[in-house]
Structure 1
Amino acid sequence: MGQGQKGSSEQKDGRKRREDSPSQDDGHKCRVCRFPLLVALLQLLLGVAVTVVAFLMLAISPSLLARETPHWAGIILCLVSIVGFILYCVTYHPDERSSVQFIVKLLYFALCAVGLVISVLVVAFAGYHHAQTSSFSCMPAAEDCLCTLDPHDPIARTFTYEGVSDCQEITETLLLYHLLQIVLNLAQAFVCAVGAFIMWKHRYQVFFAGLQIGTFQQWHKV
Structure 2
Amino acid sequence: MGQGQKGSSDKKESKRRRDDSPSPEDGNKCRVCRFPLLVALLQLLLGVAVTAVAFLMVAISPSLLARETPHWAGIILCLASILGFILYCITYQPDERTSMQFIVKLLYFIMCTTGLVLSVLVVAFAVHHHSQTSSFICEKADDDCMCTLDPNDPIARTFTYEGVSDCEAITGTLSFYFLLQILLNLAQGLICAVGAFIMWKHRYQVFFSGLQIGSPAQQWQKV
**Partner Cα separation in structure 2 for residue 82 and residue 36 of structure 1:** 13
List runs of 5+ in structure 2 lacking aligned partners.
Answer: 1-21
**Partner Cα separation in structure 2 for residue 74 and residue 42 of structure 1:** 12
**Partner Cα separation in structure 1 for residue 147 and residue 114 of structure 2:** 35
Asked if the contact 2:145–2:160 (Cα under 8 Å) also holds between the matched residues in 1, the reply is: yes
Alignment of 1:57-206 (within 5 A): 57-206=57-206
The number of residue pairs the alignment matches comes to 200
**Partner Cα separation in structure 2 for residue 200 and residue 103 of structure 1:** 14
Instruction: Calculate the TM-score normalised by the size of structure 2.
Output: 0.85
Report the residue type matching 2:79 in the other structure: L
2:220 alignment partner in structure 1: 219
Render the CA deviation track for 1:20-62: whole Å, top value 9, x for unaligned.
Answer: xx85447565322323311111110000000000000000001
Report the residue type matching 2:68 in the other structure: E
**Partner Cα separation in structure 1 for residue 103 and residue 53 of structure 2:** 33
**Partner Cα separation in structure 2 for residue 38 and residue 196 of structure 1:** 14
1:15 alignment partner in structure 2: none
**Partner Cα separation in structure 2 for residue 218 and residue 34 of structure 1:** 23
**Identity among equivalent pairs (%):** 78
**Partner Cα separation in structure 1 for residue 64 and residue 120 of structure 2:** 20
Instruction: Calculate the TM-score normalised by the size of structure 1.
Output: 0.85
State the secondary structure of the residue aligned to 1:79.
helix
**Partner Cα separation in structure 2 for residue 26 and residue 85 of structure 1:** 20
